[in-house]
Chain A
Amino acid sequence: MIPDPESIRSILATDCGSTTTKAILIERGPEGYRLVTRGEAPTTVEAPFEDVTRGVLNAVREVEELRGRKLLDGDGILSPQRGDDGVDLYVSTSSAGGGLQMMVSGLVLQMTGESAQRAALGAGAIVMDVMALNDGRRAHEKVRRLRQLRPDMILLSGGTDGGDIKRVTELAEIIAAADPRARLGAGYELPVIFAGNQSAAPHVTACLGSRTALSVVPNLRPSLEREHLGPARDAIHELFMEHVMAHAPGYKKLMTWSPVPIMPTPGAVGLIMEKVAKRDGLAVVGVDIGGATTDVFSVFRVPGAADGATVFNRTVSANLGMSYSVSNVMAEAGIANILRWVPFAVDEVELRNRIKNKMIRPTTIPQTLEDLVIEQAICREALRLAFEQHKALAVGLKGKQTARDISDVLDQSASGASLVDLVDLGLLVGSGGVLSHAPRRAQSMLMMIDAFLPEGITELAVDSIFMTPQLGVLSTVHEVAATQVFERDCLVILGPCVAPIGSAKPGSPCVTVEWAPESGAPSRHRVPFGELVRVATPGERGRLTATPERGFDVGAGKGRPVTRTVRAGVVGLVVDARGRRPFTLPDEPTARIARLRAWNRALDLYAREV
């Protein structure tokens, strides 16, 4: 039973990642809830341990040692708190063991297929494949693929309500013919969620009811103009707990420790991002880069909506990460794209071996500065690729007919256009080991700027010690504690970034920036094209005015100034006059290395020149 929030004095929260299990201890003091300590240990979902609770106990034991407080009762969490021992609440998130792996299906790839994908991703799943009638594969190829993949769950959608029944049933027939088995636990039926044309539900039930654990929920695309993802997402969460987690090693025990359902990590981080966007009234992009996956979240205004309505999107890039998936970052980005961020010559054979050795021994950390620089170069590419995938999926509904008036003729934004508008982006938040644990915060800031290429004025922040997932799940049962810890101990404001859109000759005038802190003397900086400048920003907040030259735009049109009140941040103001649309690095190695070194010096990025 979840205790009354008023009575909660202490909270223990864990996140079982694919590589590391992180534990945080929160205590209530005179000023409210604060993070008091954290601990971590290798995740033990895999052989030889095959019991996730071992890693949880090891991480909590570290918290015990550091805090000098008894939290464990033998092989379990001591709860509720008695005297100074134990905690009143224990919650957990998990992405270990590959997270939730789903296959989704819709009639048309770009319509219900894409809606189904958004529903699954929104619930924190990894989408292994999207099957649709127009995906170019023949029936037997689809059957073979279903058998090969062995997903944890299938989401079947298709058809608007009252629309096509025949072809929806055809998809169900393909799934029935494949008779797919679940990934974990040979003895249970594969969960299938049907969220398509409700008139087809009896036929789908006839086809799949006896072969799978079928759930029928309301249509996720009841009409072409409307997406209704909530019921499908809820069903995914429910089945994730009921079927998938219950069969993962050790989770049954872990579930008994917490009165709150274990949440998939991306689901928990998404909750926090949505809350931040709502609170600050900003368009927000968040990223959580882990060892195996990179999750991107965005909250943007719906284009054309008069009421300021926002749309939330989440994508999980299954094979982009810094340890288990590091080799895939190299495979997808290419060696050249990684090396373009490295300001020294690297032998390709040596680099390839280093990356593979990180993959096979995922818990190692960089010891030399050169190694750190290479790891941060890989991070830039992982973030860039994950953001590209996000932009491709965070789009308006495709296939809908919209009434057009004269203004639409002038502004021909096609349906299906990306909702991600970098000029509108107000806050970019980073989380995950490589960003949270970077030795200097300026390194995190530049990694995010290089990967996301924000435009105009954007604030950047980072999760201080990588605890957003735990606070996400906590917010479902104790909003006050989650918010207080998030604001005081979790979110570290790095500072604003000014990045004019446009291009010119290096050294030519680009932008003038004025910083007026709430108290203290204002400062003014003229930054030529091609430069990266870091400006100290004393105080907590200030008024930032960016005046671009005639050929450049900072959000209000070419040559027009923009003024905004922003938070100062621990790094300060970064003026990125390296160009946008396009952003390019010199092709010639000597020139490229010289530029990178100059920018690193400008941001005081490393303790010595590399």
Chain B
Amino acid sequence: MGHAYTPGLRVAAETLVRRERRLPLKGAVCVVAGAEVGPESVIARCELPGNVQTVNLAAQLSVDPAAVGGTLLKPIGSAVARDEPIAEARAMFGLMRNRVASPADGTLESVSSVTGQLLVRERPIPVEVYAYVRGRVVELLPGEGAIVESRAALVQGIFGVGGETYGRLAIATPGPDTSLEAAHLKPEHRGAVLVGGNHVSHETVLRARDLGVRALVVGGFDDRDLRELLGRDLGVAITGQEELGITLVLTEGFGRIAMAARTWELLVAHAGRVASVSGATQIRAGVLRPEVLVPLDEHPGPYAPEAGGGTLEIGSFVRVIRQPWFGRLGRVVELPAELGALDTEARVRVLVVEFTDDGTRATVPRANVERLAG
């Protein structure tokens, strides 16, 4: 075997991205095909059915479940207000009237002659889906939303928290291997997507949020700080729904890791442009990675090749992604066909990497490298 497969994250100077913007339930689409949209354009809106309240009419009115339908004061489907009488039955030979009031504003949903229960549906919850990224509507999803297409620079992160946002890209640190500190934060970063270097601390994230920074894009973050930020230990990597007031995208991983040169250079090249950012990550059942998208104006020529992923070959530029050389960069100089023995005594497929910083060589399991552009 002269080569091997390695997964990688996408880093593209220019690519065509399509983002499906879909409602959770059927609703109304607010755009037409071909429409130019911005990040805050409403694509579609719907109303989520409200919560359901159950009212045990049979018990409260002391009537047989089969008879509760006849006790309703309004037909099913009617709007009712909280505390408004909705059912009535006579007791004590018709001398007494028992009444039941609605527990909420809403509509009478259904009544069951088996259980004697009445369901009152609370008022619907309005939901809007935004375009998220500047682009054009290329396809309508009738009753559900649309697909927005955009020519954009794309950086996929490896992990993120926080939802979708957008803002002007601003570079905060002098280089990709510098830590983003509170001192780097400036008042003009309000509303920005701020790019840092190899690390950011929990305190700095909070300072940035208080300053009004919408998103941070950095190389690494400590898990201990993630726990502080979320208020819990993150067990399963399904994120994006957190309401943190700021979105955080890690391009490399946990710890202090310099942002890959190509990622850094791409983001620096687009400083000042508006970027759309999502922290949503799902590393299971339909991998979803956080992303930074910088929509571009019309492109005159062919796309530049993408970085990352693909086949490992002699000369491939790689990063080691596990101890003892975690985070170090180098080139593949050997891809032995035979299995190699590790310190653990396991025999696995290995490669030899020559590190770019000091020229030393190391044997590393093929599973423990990822290919980078360059």
Contact = CB atoms under 8 A, between A and B. Distances in A.
Interface stretch (A221-229, A252-260, A319-327): A319-327
A368 B115 contact: no
Contact of B112 (A173, A352, A366, A440): A173
A98 interface: yes
Contact of A367 (B5, B254, B344): B344
A357 B321 contact: yes
Contacts of B232: 331
Given A166-B115, A173-B119, A203-B114, A367 B324 contact: yes
A313 interface: no
Nearest to B117: A170
B283 A359 contact: yes
Contacts of B235: 319, 325, 327-328, 330-332
A144 B51 contact: yes
B345 A140 contact: no
B96 interface: no
Interface string B172-214: 0000000000000000000000000000000000000000000
B233 A368 contact: no
B223 A143 contact: no
A360 B254 contact: yes
Interface in B212-254: 222-224, 226-227, 232-237, 253-254
B5 A166 contact: no
A47 interface: yes
B49 A364 contact: no
Interface residues of B, number: 57
B300 interface: no
Contact of B283 (A203, A362, A367): A362
A470 interface: no
Contacts of B115: 166-167, 169-170, 173
A275 interface: no
A242 interface: no
A353 B367 contact: no
A42 B235 CA distance: 23
Contacts of A352: 222-224, 227, 254
Nearest to A142: B52
A607 interface: yes
Contacts of B224: 348-349, 352
A416 B345 CA distance: 46
Contacts of A65: 1
A327 B346 contact: no
A240 to B, nearest CB: 15
A368 B223 contact: no
A166 B56 CA distance: 12
B119 A367 contact: no
A103 to B, nearest CB: 16
B135 to A, nearest CB: 20
Contacts of A370: 323
Given A170-B117, A360-B254, A368 B323 contact: yes
Contacts of B348: 365
B343 A367 contact: yes
A260 to B, nearest CB: 24
Secondary structure class of chain B's binding surface, majority of residues: loop
Interface string A351-391: 01111111111111111111110000000000000000000
Interface in B328-346: 342-346
Given A139-B52, A360-B254, A365 B346 contact: yes
A97 interface: yes
B188 to A, nearest CB: 32
A589 to B, nearest CB: 20
A170 B367 CA distance: 52
Given A331-B235, A366-B344, A440-B345, A324 B284 contact: yes
B253 A360 contact: yes
Nearest to A438: B346
Nearest to B348: A365
Interface string B247-275: 00000011100000000000000000000
A140 B52 CA distance: 5
Contacts of A371: 322-324, 344
A450 interface: no
Given A139-B54, A165-B114, A607-B345, A361 B65 contact: no
Given A359-B283, A361-B321, A367 B365 contact: yes
Interface string B89-105: 00000000000000000
Interface string A579-610: 00000000000000000000000000001000
A440 B237 CA distance: 31
A364 B158 contact: no
A130 B367 CA distance: 38
B286 interface: yes
B236 A369 contact: no
A332 B236 CA distance: 11
Contacts of A369: 343-344
A65 B337 CA distance: 12
Contact of B234 (A42, A327, A350): A327
A217 interface: no
A316 B218 CA distance: 37
A352 B254 CA distance: 9
Nearest to B368: A364
Contacts of A327: 233-237
B53 interface: yes
Contacts of A372: 344, 346
A98 B324 contact: no
B284 A140 contact: no
A325 B367 CA distance: 18
A352 B112 CA distance: 53
Nearest to A350: B255
Contacts of A362: 283
Contact of B237 (A98, A324, A366, A367): A324
A154 B322 CA distance: 40
A552 B170 CA distance: 69
Contact of B287 (A47, A319, A331, A357): A47
Given A169-B115, A352-B224, A357 B326 contact: yes
A364 B286 contact: no
Interface string B348-359: 100000000000
A234 B118 CA distance: 35
Contacts of B114: 165-166, 169, 203
A58 B6 CA distance: 13
Which of B223, B224, B227: most chain A Cβ within 10 A? B223
Contacts of A353: 222-223, 253-255
Contact of B364 (A58, A331, A367): A367
A97 B348 CA distance: 26
B324 A368 contact: yes
Nearest to A291: B284
A292 B233 CA distance: 17
B285 interface: yes
Contact of B53 (A139, A173, A330, A350): A139
A331 B367 contact: no
A354 B322 CA distance: 8
B322 A140 contact: no
B143 to A, nearest CB: 11
15 contacts: A18-B284, A65-B1, A170-B54, A170-B115, A173-B117, A324-B237, A325-B236, A355-B223, A357-B254, A363-B7, A368-B323, A368-B342, A371-B323, A372-B344, A439-B344
Given A324-B237, A361-B370, 14 more contacts: A170-B54, A177-B119, A356-B253, A357-B322, A358-B322, A360-B254, A361-B321, A365-B322, A365-B346, A365-B367, A366-B342, A367-B322, A367-B323, A372-B346
Interface of B: 1, 5, 7, 49, 51-54, 65, 109-110, 112, 114-117, 119, 121-122, 158-159, 222-224, 226-227, 232-237, 253-255, 283-288, 321-324, 326, 342-346, 348, 364-365, 367-368, 370
Question: 10 nearest interchain CB pairs?
Answer: A328-B235, A98-B285, A140-B51, A352-B223, A331-B233, A439-B345, A331-B235, A353-B254, A46-B287, A356-B254
